[in-house]
Structure 1
Amino acid sequence: MTAVELSAGGWALACLCGAIIGLDGVSWPQAMWSRPIVAGTLGGMLFGAPAAGCLVGVWLELVLSRHPPFGGARHPETGPASFTAGAAYAVAGGGAPAGIVAAVAVGWAVGWTGAHSVTLLRRVTPGLVSRPEGFRRGAAALARRHRLAVALDGLRAGLLVAALFVPSVLFVRLLSTQPSGAAGAAWWPVVAGFGLAGAAGVAARGLGARSRGWPALAAGCLLGTLIARFIA
């Protein structure tokens, strides 16, 4: 059964929070609200389950942090993605290991969708700010255009959450309704493997191919595998 209870007010509030968190990544106020662990916790808190949202945010830190948000390369937009994933896991009820996998997959998918929406918006905003008449009219006109660009960035993030929040909740709920007992416990190794793979990816990106830290990474992966085997 995949039915969930989500009011129109809750959905609208989620869209507003997603817009504010989306602004934090580049525009305003850059207060680290868009970090996965923070945004995921805020998403869970909005629907009464901050611990569930924080859990999803921690996993997304491992998965999405492999792509640092700087430089010319395209990277996933972590803020709205982690908020959506954390809120979806909270609304869906949480608990099931398969639900964690689904929520992390949602965060990854929404993050890359957000990356493409950011690229499209960045093609529009230079034309708003750098028009010749904007400079001739003085600093006040240029400031208004800048505020317009910031508002469009928030609108973009809000629309992203608005479009993908409900499908995300239904997807997480669908995978969360797995049978309990042995069948449900079988998902725990999948969750542990997913996290280990993400952690190894982040570490490998920072170490570099010729780094002397590779033995430490190998030892950490071995220790993590043993812990995952013990938990499973």
Structure 2
Amino acid sequence: MTELFAALVPLVPVALLAGVVGLDVVSFPQAMISRPIVGATLGGAFLGAPEAGLVCGTALECLALESLPVGASRYPEWGSASVVAGAVAAVGATNSSFPDVGAFAVAVLVGIVTAWIGGWTMVQHRQLIARFARPRLDQLAAGSRNTVVGLQVFGMTLDLVRGALLGGLMYCLARPVATLVNAFWTVDEDLSRAVIVASVAAVAAAAVWKDFHAISGTRRLFVVSLAVGTLLVVAGA
């Protein structure tokens, strides 16, 4: 019972964080805290392992480069998913350590699955808002301030609840799996991490290569960014 309670203690903060970060994807404030590298780092930090969350977030960021949120199209919801993945990556990790390779593998997989489910929930969220707004079309057309504000508050509140429920549920399901996989993982850690990193890097490379051919000036910006990043790493070392 004590172990179960200890496992469930992080549930509330992780769920609330997933709700807030998921809210940032579309609703408010769209301040980029929903990017995987931010959301996963926060998720890991809430469980005392920010570095593990950062490593997981970097891997998910490579995958998120492939998708671009555009209008009402369906796309993966990486905000809540990243928080869950970062929290799962923290299982077995310490404040200044890389994630255990078993938890790392589970975290990346859970991040992908949660992002896909999150995309579906966002579509349902929009449809529910549309049903809520339909009886109020006359007030909206007349420019009713109360109707507009009420609809916005309803939509944002619903989005917050959506992200929190999704994050809490997926964390509850994934944490024991990560603990179990950590206990039975036998593949060499360096090899395992190399396979995961190579897989996500291949997706990122494909996304960047596509941008090279679709967006003017992308190659120059990439070279400049790579040079500045390299200099910062060298200077920091």
Structure 1 unmatched runs, 5+: 217-232
Aligned to 2:167: 161
CA RMSD of aligned residues (A): 2.9
TM-superposition CA deviations, 1:68-89 (whole Å, max 9, x none): 1124532110110001000111
Aligned to 1:222: none
| 1:208 partner SS | helix
**Total equivalences in the alignment:** 213
Question: Is the contact between residue 39 and residue 82 of structure 2 (CA under 8 Å) also seen in structure 1?
Answer: yes
Aligned to 1:17: 17
Aligned to 1:186: 191
TM-superposition CA deviations, 1:77-133 (whole Å, max 9, x none): 011000100011113436333432221111111000000000111111123234235
Displacement after TM superposition at 1:195 (Å)? 2.9
Distance (Å, rounded) in 1 between the aligned partners of 2:76 and 2:9: 28
Aligned to 1:230: none
Once the two structures are superposed, the pairs formed by residues 135-214 of structure 1 within 5 Å of their partners are: 135=140, 138-179=144-185, 183-208=188-213
| 2:125 partner SS | helix
Displacement after TM superposition at 1:12 (Å)? 1.1
Question: Is the contact between residue 47 and residue 90 of structure 1 (CA under 8 Å) also seen in structure 2?
Answer: yes
| Letter matched to residue 205 of structure 2 | A
Distance (Å, rounded) in 1 between the aligned partners of 2:193 and 2:149: 52
Structure 2 unmatched runs, 5+: 223-237
Scaled by the length of structure 1, the TM-score of the pair is 0.80
Aligned to 1:225: none
Scaled by the length of structure 2, the TM-score of the pair is 0.78
Name which of structure 1's ranges 6-15 and 35-44 shifts more when overlaid on structure 2: 6-15
Question: Is the contact between residue 19 and residue 158 of structure 1 (CA under 8 Å) also seen in structure 2?
Answer: yes
Once the two structures are superposed, the pairs formed by residues 41-190 of structure 1 within 5 Å of their partners are: 41-93=41-93, 95-130=99-134, 131-135=136-140, 138-179=144-185, 183-190=188-195
Return closer, same or farther for 1:144/1:98 CA change in 2, 3 Å cut-off.
Answer: same
TM-superposition CA deviations, 1:8-31 (whole Å, max 9, x none): 442111111111111111111111
Distance (Å, rounded) in 1 between the aligned partners of 2:133 and 2:207: 36
| 1:69 partner SS | coil
> Sequence identity, in percent?
29
